[in-house]
Chain A
Amino acid sequence: MAVSDEATDEALASRAALGDNHAFDEIAIRYQARVYRLACRLVGPNDAPDVVQEGFLSVYRNLASFRQESRFGTWLYRIVTNAALMHRRARTRRPAESLEAFLPEFDAAGRHCQTPAELQIAERADELLDRRVLAEAATAALDRLPDLYRSAFVLRDLEELTTAEVADVLGVEPATVRQRVHRARLMLRGYLCALAGVRP
């Protein structure tokens, strides 16, 4: 059966759930680049291919459970994110060094400890650092975030889902998403400061 360019994700999912393999291929083609990028951000480029395969296989096997209560893309992101988390947990790896040290510092009165120039340096990290160095450092930094913060930050800030969509994907309240994304931003901002040569 030919698949129309106009078919919505949800229509393709319905047809795929009824056994239309061409419809599922179309879903894979539509989403593979986004799923790969998401997997790279959640588990790193080395493990991303495995997570992409596991994620799409899980999507295929669970098509019948897609109730069309949320957008298909949101549902797919949930499955791939879960596949990535399971993949990370299955790996035997050293615990990543915490990024807590990169949180902002304040004096006893609650004022920033640094100068405005120091505080702003993270904004110019992409100008100050070699592109490849920054890419490697960014991947390493994401790997060092606690799992809960990483998934929220990646979905909200890197994949640019809305806070409500991230809450749906992760099965938590929007306020929890905001708290996790905020902590991740603070740590990563401090990390960029350190990369650019300034203590957080």
Chain B
Amino acid sequence: MTDVSCQIGVELLMDYLEGVVPDDMRTILESHVAGCPKCTAFVASYLATPRILREATAGTMPPELQKSLLAFLRAQRGDGRR
């Protein structure tokens, strides 16, 4: 095999990124993407997706919740009752 379709490339993309595809397939995939503007664009957006979701959902814990958590845990343990 000397080339794969875009669809096969997409199916193997995660395994490729994690380094678990065989060397010969790795070479074929790299060659395909290098010559396919559509796959080049797809890979860029695939790689960006985790970062965008991570940044969009990086909420911080409200200070009042931090206080109430410790109070809740201490109450559950029965701190101060001994």
From 81 to 110 in chain A, residues with beta carbon under 8 angstroms from any chain B beta carbon are 104, 106, 109-110
On whether the beta carbons of B56 and A126 are closer than 8 Å, the reply is: yes
User: Which chain A residue lies CB-closest to B7?
Assistant: A110
Does A77 lie at the interface of the complex (its beta carbon under 8 Å from any beta carbon of B)? Answer: no
From 40 to 64 in chain B, residues with beta carbon under 8 angstroms from any chain A beta carbon are 40-42, 44-50, 52-61
On whether the beta carbons of A111 and B5 are closer than 8 Å, the reply is: yes
On whether the beta carbons of B42 and A112 are closer than 8 Å, the reply is: yes
| Partner of B49 from A21, A32, A185 at Cβ < 8 Å | A185
* Of B10, B49, B73, most A-chain CB atoms within 10 Å: B49
How many whole Å from B76's CB to the nearest CB in chain A?
6
Residues of B within 8 A of A25 (CB): 70, 73-74
Interface string of A31-65 (1 = CB under 8 A from B): 01100110011000100010011001100100000
Bound together, the chains give a CA A126 to CA B5 distance in angstroms of 30
Does B6 lie at the interface of the complex (its beta carbon under 8 Å from any beta carbon of A)? Answer: yes
Interface string of A111-136 (1 = CB under 8 A from B): 11011110111110110000100110
Residues of B within 8 A of A112 (CB): 6, 38-39, 42
On whether the beta carbons of A122 and B38 are closer than 8 Å, the reply is: no
Residues of B within 8 A of A114 (CB): 38
| Partner of A56 from B13, B38, B55, B69 at Cβ < 8 Å | B69
On whether the beta carbons of B48 and A123 are closer than 8 Å, the reply is: yes
Chain A residues touching B, range: 35 or more
From 148 to 190 in chain A, residues with beta carbon under 8 angstroms from any chain B beta carbon are 153, 157-158, 160, 163, 175, 178-179, 181-182, 185-186, 188-189
On whether the beta carbons of B44 and A120 are closer than 8 Å, the reply is: yes
On whether the beta carbons of B59 and A123 are closer than 8 Å, the reply is: no
| Partner of A181 from B10, B14, B38, B76 at Cβ < 8 Å | B14
How many whole Å from B26's CB to the nearest CB in chain A?
15
User: Which chain B residue lies CB-closest to A117?
Assistant: B41
Q: Which residues of B contact A (CB under 8 A)?
A: 5-8, 10, 13-15, 18, 20, 37-42, 44-50, 52-61, 65-66, 68-70, 72-74, 76-77, 79
